Amino acid sequence: MSPEHEYNFDGLVGPSHNFAGLSLGNVASTGNVARTSNPKEAALQGLKKMRGLSKMGYRQAVLPPHERPHIPTLKKLGFSGTDAQIIEAAARTAPHLLAAVSSASAMWAANAATISSAAHTADGKTHFTPANLASMFHRAIEPEMTGNILKRIFACPDHFTHHNPLPTGLQFGDEGAANHTRLRANSSSPGLEVFVYGMAAFDKQKPRPAKYPARQTLEASQAIARLHGLSHQNAIFLQQNPNIIDAGVFHNDVISVGNENCFFFHQDAFQDSAKFQKDVRTRLPEIRFIEVPRDAVTVKDAVSTYLFNTQLLSDPDNPQHMRLIAPMECKENSRVHAYLENLLEQNTPIKDVSYIDVRESMRNGGGPACLRLRVLLNAAAKSSINPRVFLDDSLFHDLCYWVEKHYREELSPEDLADPNLLTECRTALDELTQIMELGSLYEFQSG
């Protein structure tokens, strides 16, 4: 079997990045509503994160942002006239809708899709299913564009299979890779795909959260496993603890993270953690579980610092050693920082922690792991992809210059009513497609 290596495809923060507090159940998002954002700083923080990981030896690539404000959605909702008139009318009569179609939430690429390794699928290809994001209106307008981007980048049918998003409806709510991870012994061996769900939609006798929505359903996870041609041997379904969803753990990647043969999670993360660990050990004896006790780190601390929305990465020079890429908030919380310092002294695969600044993303509800979509690629599959999406010195500098040229340093809720913002965003995206050699990707482009 050809070795598959992990590539982090990070979402590039869009020029309309703002704090609208649209995500029910995401404590950081709703807690920072109406603050003035800094789109330029947000995008540069994301690029510096990518650059830092690339310099450490990790394989790094870029996903472009979506067009925002999204005028086609406002037209579907009955607004008419010129684009400027549509924005003016929406700002005056339905500012909540204008905020929704202006969200730069596609930056959180962990929600873009679920991806299955070619080593696990029936046809031996990497499978992609864009998340339908059905639980939140501002995100439910993303799947079509997400699918177009993935098909443009992962275009070779010899290596990649693309599926449509699941049917809409809360019974098949799907939030993508934020509720999915892969475990394996090494880069040359198949492993397990772990699907984490919040509720069984059609079985109301099973536990479910009471306060906040369960955004991922068992039925959606099972459907994706079928679409991707996974077997019972390489797919496991695990229920999140409903109580922690009500505590603000809106996605599984806020309470656990997995990499290779290591799974790092909170004691209160799952409904039946003991059974899960037993099932995984039966299929993957090499697995190392790191369970964080609630006495050391509370769920509240985990949510406020995004301890588990870290990236858990194998050292490029020593795959048996792993590094956490953690937000600065983990270092600034005394209990979380103390736990991590103690963890590094224990006999676990995690040997290092690197702290990074992604505060603009954190304030809007997404940490380091939210910003990236993990894709396993063998050498042949990687060589079929347009090289201009992979981050190198040239692309990094071009993107930084592009951000400095086009992005605002301040964006308030009132600024969303400015029709010039649409023009600025479209001009920026048109230039981005040339920088990344993506062709005509957006609806406003004519050719």
Cα within 13 Å of Cα(220), Cβ side = 36
> pLDDT at position 23, please?
53
> pLDDT at position 446, please?
64
Annotated catalytic residue 262:
no
Q: Are the beta carbons of 127 and 228 closer than 8 angstroms?
A: yes
Q: Are the beta carbons of 180 and 254 closer than 8 angstroms?
A: no
Tell me the percentage of the chain whose pLDDT exceeds 70.
96
Give the active site residue among 228, 251, 266, 337: 251
Helix ranges (H only) for 10-61 are 27-31, 39-55
Q: Are the beta carbons of 286 and 261 closer than 8 angstroms?
A: yes
For 39-71, letters b (16+ CB in 10 Å) and e give bbbbbbbbbebbbebbebebbbbbbbbbbbbbb
Fold of 5-68+103-435: L-arginine/glycine Amidinotransferase; Chain A (3.75.10)
Residue 170 — pLDDT band, cuts 50, 70, 90? confident
Compute, in degrees rounded to 10, the torsion defined by CA atoms 403, 408, 409, 414.
Answer: -150
> pLDDT at position 310, please?
97
For 102-117, letters b (16+ CB in 10 Å) and e give bbbbbbbbbbbbbbbb
Per-residue pLDDT reduced to its tens digit, 338-395: 999 999 999 999 999 999 999 998 888 889 999 999 999 999 999 999 999 999 999 9
> pLDDT at position 25, please?
52
Angle, CA of 146, 148 and 150, to the nearest 5°: 70
Tokens of 324: 């956490």
> pLDDT at position 2, please?
81
Q: Are the beta carbons of 217 and 170 closer than 8 angstroms?
A: yes
For residue 78, what are the contacts with CB-CB under 8 A and spacing of at least 6? none
Annotated catalytic residue 175:
yes
Q: Are the beta carbons of 9 and 62 closer than 8 angstroms?
A: yes
Give the active site residue among 262, 330, 370, 425: 370
> pLDDT at position 311, please?
97
Query: Looking at residue 362, what DSSP letter applies?
Result: H
Give the active site residue among 4, 175, 219, 260: 175
The CA distance from 182 to 393, in Å, is: 30
pTM above 0.75, yes or no: yes
Domain regions of the chain by residue span: 5-68+103-435
CB atoms within 10 A of CB 378: 19
Q: Are the beta carbons of 16 and 37 closer than 8 angstroms?
A: no
Tokens of 68: 């925002």
Helix ranges (H only) for 56-171 are 71-76, 83-93, 95-102, 137-140, 143-153
Per-residue pLDDT reduced to its tens digit, 81-133: 999 999 999 999 999 999 999 999 999 999 999 999 999 999 999 999 999 99
Per-residue pLDDT reduced to its tens digit, 223-272: 999 999 999 999 999 999 999 999 989 889 999 999 999 999 999 999 99
Q: Residue for token digits 């979506």?
A: 66
Q: Are the beta carbons of 242 and 270 closer than 8 angstroms?
A: no
Average pLDDT in the chain: 94
Annotated catalytic residue 370:
yes
Q: Residue for token digits 């908030």?
A: 329
Phi then psi dihedrals of residue 142, to 5 deg: -85, -35
> pLDDT at position 20, please?
76
